[in-house]
Chains A and B, each alone.
Chain A
């Protein structure tokens, strides 16, 4: 069965590029363009992995989405790759780390992410999940 990847990003071009790359690798890709849609599609489609952009309508919308997803039992073990622009970290005094309560994501990836890097990361996460 083809594994399902959900990409949540308001950047349509970004979604398109990575969708093409992931589909080329044989993944089924579902896309959403804002947080609300992302949560809705995740609950409907139950993806194997979620790629989530932090900054959409607000600077931290991605965090809210991640927390919302973790509230649902079926989404509690699904890996979430959070995309972030590290250079924006200058405005934040502390180091951002995945945190069960506050930042319930599996991995951070720095934007811009070349498609091959993203694919590599997705493969790695799914492999881990299977174990």
Chain B
């Protein structure tokens, strides 16, 4: 991956953080919304349950009131007071009232609790109804009502069809608590019982009536319609009400997939334990038949305060899921909008952060390219460094500017110092050149006059005079040679050593003129000269410079060579170069000195050469010239015997 710029890196870090935070926010908010909505739904269901419950109470109250009115019927009072034979009038009148008022049962007991009249076929009488706590309470003069379980044998007395209606076979329910029974045979009744009173308040009997709840769909549908205004949500039943006798559904609006009412199924063990055993309300979401419902179960108590069943209210969860999703969806654009806004801000911010760094990078680049003044100008252009938002970057730029300024100052100073030095050196070299040139001319004239004296041109000299003139001549010659070397040096130092190359015949153009020059000196020292240079030695070189080379080497050979010894000049071709050597018999050069030979101002030391001191420049100049021609020079020697200088020149 290509390296990201500082700006993008910052931006990506920002983005990463924002995305993480955003995701967390969405998750937390989603969860919170779900919780709130669900809580709200549960509260709603709990309230619905209470409302549903109140319908039972209302129904019971109504039943009580109705029965009270019947109990005030004179026919009934008279019948019980006189303990007469049951007249068909009373019987048919009460039966008609039962049917009219919608009771399933309407039964009259005497003050001992014995049933004297049943208004429902088979009109069974004579049994005691004292086991029913409600009736025994009514016989004590109280109007009471409640939900009770009527066992099968009693049920049969109340009516054969009621046995049929109450009978509900169990359907297999996987999560229910196992029960030995196969079907529900007893019935759950809404029962109200009122005393039949004389005018003085004496109880002479009791009247009770009730409705069987098993398969009583009319009642649960009524409760549902009263509690829930909307019947359906998206084609699914919205609110449901169910009655349980113990754990069995005996009346419900929940329908099976085939459209039949879902009775006979039982409640899960979880609900069973919580509601039936612990007597608490169960409030959770539950999967009922096909859909998720937010469900509430509460226990139903009989008048003896024993749990006999449950009332269930459920609300379709879909609606609340939709509400939750709606809220969540309306929330998402806000979150995403926020994220986008933060991203834009972070993009701009990262730009702001990286801008001064970019400036620094540009500045360092330009300084690296040698534009020393760049950062100084930038500072003039952007004088508001102190307004940058980050103190570190402020400091960095300030320090950088100082550094660049210091660098620029130092470079300027160095350049000036260097220029000054160069100028001083140039002046020095010019003076040196001029002075040595003047000296050389004077020396030429001194040499000339000494020569004339020596040659006896202006009269014969005596022995002492001749000796002195010779000393004069010799020293002037040496001085002249030194001056010549100084002149060469000044040219080299000034960088003016220019090589003007041309075709050169080494023997004819260089060696012969030089040897001619040194002829006198060879003769004076009695040195035997051997020359072995092939005629084919023709090169491209600067003849005047090569003459200087040969002059220097021969001058050394004569100077340091043994008197009456030999000097050999040789040349051989070697591949692409010529090897020229000047050999002389003599004291030679020690190993230590060989290394220093070609450096400036080196002179051969030792007592033996004291009188031969030169400028110490000859070999340095020689080396420079040879190197300018692309060749090399070195020296070899056997101490006490010989010395040899060898230089190479590239052949054509």
**Chain A interface residues toward B at CB < 8 A:** 11, 13-14, 17-18, 20-21, 24, 85-90, 93-95, 111-116
Contacts and interface: CB of A to CB of B under 8 A. Distances in A.
Given A17-B448, A85-B441, 18 more contacts: A11-B445, A13-B445, A18-B448, A21-B455, A24-B455, A24-B457, A85-B437, A86-B544, A87-B437, A87-B491, A89-B544, A90-B496, A93-B498, A112-B441, A112-B443, A112-B445, A112-B447, A115-B452
A111 B445 CA distance: 10
A17 B484 CA distance: 22
B73 to A, nearest CB: 156
B487 interface: yes
A14 B448 contact: yes
A53 B487 CA distance: 21
Interface of B: 437, 440-441, 443-445, 447-449, 451-452, 455, 457-458, 480, 484, 487, 491, 496, 498, 500, 502, 520, 544
A114 B448 contact: yes
The 3 A-B pairs of least Cβ separation, nearest first, read A112-B444, A17-B448, A24-B457
A86 B545 CA distance: 11
A112 B502 CA distance: 25
B451 A115 contact: yes
Contacts of B443: 112
Contacts of A113: 444
B151 to A, nearest CB: 144
B449 A93 contact: no
A20 B544 CA distance: 31
B500 A116 contact: no
Interface secondary structure of B, over-half rule: helix
A17 to B, nearest CB: 4
A21 B451 contact: yes
14 contacts: A14-B448, A21-B457, A24-B452, A85-B437, A85-B440, A87-B440, A87-B487, A89-B544, A90-B496, A90-B498, A93-B500, A94-B500, A115-B448, A116-B520
A24 B458 CA distance: 8
Nearest to A13: B445
Contacts of B448: 13-14, 17-18, 21, 112, 114-115
Nearest to B517: A117
B444 A21 contact: no
Contacts of B455: 21, 24, 115-116
Nearest to A92: B500
Contacts of A115: 448, 451-452, 455, 457
B433 to A, nearest CB: 9
Contact of B458 (A13, A20, A93, A95): A20
A86 B547 CA distance: 11
A40 B445 CA distance: 26
A112 B480 contact: yes
A14 B498 contact: no
Given A11-B441, A14-B444, A93-B500, A114 B544 contact: no
A95 B451 contact: no
Contacts of A21: 448, 451-452, 455, 457
A102 to B, nearest CB: 18
A111 B441 contact: yes
Contacts of B487: 87
B512 to A, nearest CB: 14
B500 A95 contact: yes
A18 B449 CA distance: 9
A23 to B, nearest CB: 8
Contact of B452 (A20, A85, A94, A111): A20
A18 B444 CA distance: 11
Nearest to B477: A114
A20 to B, nearest CB: 5
A117 to B, nearest CB: 8
Which of B437, B444, B496 has most chain A Cβ within 10 Å?
Answer: B444
Contacts of A94: 500
Nearest to B451: A115
Contacts of A24: 452, 455, 457
A114 B441 contact: no
B437 A17 contact: no
A17 B452 contact: yes
Contacts of A114: 447-448, 451
B441 to A, nearest CB: 7
B452 A112 contact: no
Which of B441, B448, B449, B520 has most chain A Cβ within 10 Å?
Answer: B448
A83 to B, nearest CB: 10
Contacts of A13: 445, 448-449
A112 B457 contact: no
A90 B500 CA distance: 10
Nearest to B448: A17
B445 A17 contact: yes
A94 B542 CA distance: 11
A14 B443 CA distance: 11
Contacts of B502: 95
A14 B480 CA distance: 16
A20 B491 contact: no
Contacts of B498: 90, 93
A17 B458 CA distance: 10
A110 to B, nearest CB: 9
A87 B451 CA distance: 23
Contacts of A90: 491, 496, 498
Nearest to A86: B544
A17 B307 CA distance: 159
A26 B500 CA distance: 41
A18 to B, nearest CB: 7
Contact of A17 (B441, B449, B480): B449
A112 B491 contact: no
Contacts of A85: 437, 440-441
Nearest to A14: B445
Nearest to A91: B496
A21 B457 CA distance: 6
Nearest to A116: B451
